[in-house]
Amino acid sequence: SVVKPEMFSKENSQYLYQQLGCKTAVGMPFKDIATVDSIYMSKIPPSSDTEARAAIRRLIEVSMGVVVPAEELEKDPLPNAVALMSLEDAVAKNGKLPEGAIRLAVELNGDEDEETIIKVKELNPVFCMLKPKENLSHLHASRRVFEIFKANDIDRAV
């Protein structure tokens, strides 16, 4: 699920928990069978917004993954987040995570060379996000990536 920072306002966080499939007890969320596993946030609330950060922390505490672009985490760290990096950036940084991040997720665009895609195995991301460039056929880019994964025994969720 894609979540925006304003959704974590004090008045809205209880409704957000419900929309994510969480049950609540005394205002605290907990996971259920219908709860989403992870949320994606392209922007995060500033650390000065303690109420929004507390709401995010509560989701992390019930084992919900919070995926945030690495550039955002470098500006304002969020403890226990999953850092999303492009494959090129992750390879260039040798998988080094920004402060506070605990796991890596990589974004593939489908036009990387085979040698670069094979490095996914070494980086060991928690998952890969396949987002082909607009000028590429999604079908062909996806097939190419999956064929490279299969040929090199790369077992990652995409």
> 93: phi > 0 → left, psi -120 to 50 → alpha, else beta; which?
alpha
Place of tokens 């990096």: 85
Q: What is the pLDDT of residue 137?
A: 93
User: Residue 77, SS3?
Assistant: coil
CA pair distance 9, 146, nearest whole angstrom: 40
Give the predicted TM-score (pTM) of the model.
0.89
CA pair distance 137, 132, nearest whole angstrom: 8
Q: pLDDT below 50 — which residues of the chain?
A: none
Residue 37 is classified by DSSP as: S
Q: What is the pLDDT of residue 37?
A: 93
Cβ partners under 8 Å of residue 19, min gap 6: 1
Q: What is the pLDDT of residue 25?
A: 85
Q: What percent of the chain has pLDDT over 90?
A: 79
